[in-house]
Amino acid sequence: MHQKPDADAMGSSLGLFHFLQQLGHSATVISPTNWADWLKWMKGCEKVIDYELSPERGNSILDDADWVFCLDFNTLSRTRKMAGRLNDFRGTKILIDHHQQPQSESFAYGISDTSKSSTSEMVYDFIVAAGHDDKIDKDIAECLYAGVMADTGSFRFSSATAAVHRMVADLKDRGFDHSKIHENLFDNFLENRLRFTGYVLQSRMDIYYEYNAALISVPWKDLVKYQIKTGDTEGLVNYPLTIQGIKLAALIIDRDEEIKCSFRSKGNFDVNVFARTYFDGGGHSNAAGGRSTDSLEQTVQRFIRAMKENASQLQ
């Protein structure tokens, strides 16, 4: 899965893991980095290897592997320090992903389908198309539901097609409690995260009404002050889109080692193109990410310039 995995990356990976185990394969899940505490409820998460923490163990597993399924990322660079090892992997790399412009030459097999809501939906399709839907048990259903629910914004995004709802109905028939999964993903934080969110919205958010855009910029000292951990800023970029008229929302965070950027949009403003053009990133047309090696202040100024250059599309 990609670095700093979200619910779809972890859910699709663990869903496929449980399925492959049922077929008798020896399977291991590797994450390039650590992951949020609110993902640890998923069955099998305790067995996932943090490559950044245990590179020798991860490399040993890769050396012995025949196949590597690459889930929820379109380019090897999204696996951070694993990218070199994956590039040199001697076995077969198989892509299952739904992001635009995949690095297709790096994979022997697979599919990148941008019409799909999530990689979790694609893993479900893969299992069903293989004729093994009878192997979708409660553990697989929980993992895949978590991924598709999170990536569709609790089914409010346009990607939540009729096929997604049919998938959810089928998974519900497997007997899992969907309300418990919502609690695990959205009601499972510490007090400091809520206070951090309130502070950031009050003190770190700028609204540019003339461009129908909003920006949240967070310095490193804020992360330290509120003891923010991996996953605690998930969803923060979506808040400005709740403001009437805002079409573009950006979140720029100083992570100390680099500047991370998240972009969200409404309507036909393509943040995938925006992120690729200005911030060495990419993703989906309404949700994308990027990065910067400049300072936080310089990156903010770059965003403002980019916003003004796209004024005709935003207004």
- pLDDT, residue 257, reads 82
Can you name the residues that pair with 233 across neighbouring β-strands? none
- Please give the pLDDT value at position 166: 98
Residue 217 has a pLDDT of 98
- Tell me the percentage of the chain whose pLDDT exceeds 70: 100
Q: CA-CA distance, 46 to 73, in Å (whole number)?
A: 22
Average pLDDT of the residues of the chain: 96
| Greatest distance between any 2 Cα atoms in the chain | 59
H, E, C per residue of the chain: CCCCCCHHHHHHHHHHHHHHHHCCCCCCCEECCCCCHHHCCCCCHHHCEECCCCHHHHHHHHHHCCEEEEECCCCHHHHHHHHHHHHCCCCEEEEEECCCCCCHHHCCEEEECCCCCCHHHHHHHHHHHCCCHHHCCHHHHHHHHHHHHHHCCCCCCCCCCHHHHHHHHHHHCCCCCHHHHHHHHHCCCCHHHHHHHHHHHHHCEEEEHHHCEEEEEECHHHHHHCCCCCCCCCCHHHHHHHCCCCCEEEEEEECCCCEEEEEEECCCCCHHHHHHHHCCCEECCCEEEEEECCCHHHHHHHHHHHHHHCHHHHC
Residue 191's pLDDT is: 96
If pLDDT is split at 50, 70 and 90, which confidence band does 124 have?
very high
- Structure confidence at residue 15 (pLDDT): 98
Whether 70 shows a pLDDT value over 90: the answer reads: yes
Residue 87: pLDDT band by 50, 70, 90 thresholds?
A: very high
pLDDT at residue 207 is higher than 90: yes
Give dist(CA 77, CA 281) in Å, integer.
10
In this structure, are strands 205-208 and 109-112 parallel, antiparallel, or unpaired? unpaired
What are the tens digits of pLDDT across the range 168-179?
A: 999 999 999 999
Digit-coded pLDDT (tens) for 280-290: 998 889 999 99
* pLDDT at residue 193 is higher than 90: yes
Sign of CA dihedral 105, 107, 109, 113: negative
- Residue percentage of the chain with pLDDT more than 90: 94
Residue-range domains of the chain with CATH: 7-186 (3.90.1640.10), 191-314 (3.10.310.30)
Residue 294 clears pLDDT 90, i.e. is over it: yes
User: Mean pLDDT over residues 106-112, rounded?
Assistant: 94
Q: Is the pLDDT of residue 158 over 90?
A: no
What is the mean pLDDT of the segment spanning 207-221? 98
In this predicted model, what pLDDT tens digit does every residue of 21-46 receive, in sequence order? 999 999 999 999 999 999 999 999 99
pLDDT digits (tens, 9 = 90+) for 244-281: 999 999 999 999 888 999 999 999 999 999 999 999 99
Query: Among 61-75, 195-209, 216-230, 280-294, which is the least confidently predicted range?
Result: 280-294
pLDDT confidence of residue 185:
94
- From 183, 112, 109, select the one nearest 146 (Cα to Cα): 183
The predicted pLDDT at position 101 comes to 86
Query: Is 0.85 surpassed by the pTM of this model?
Result: yes
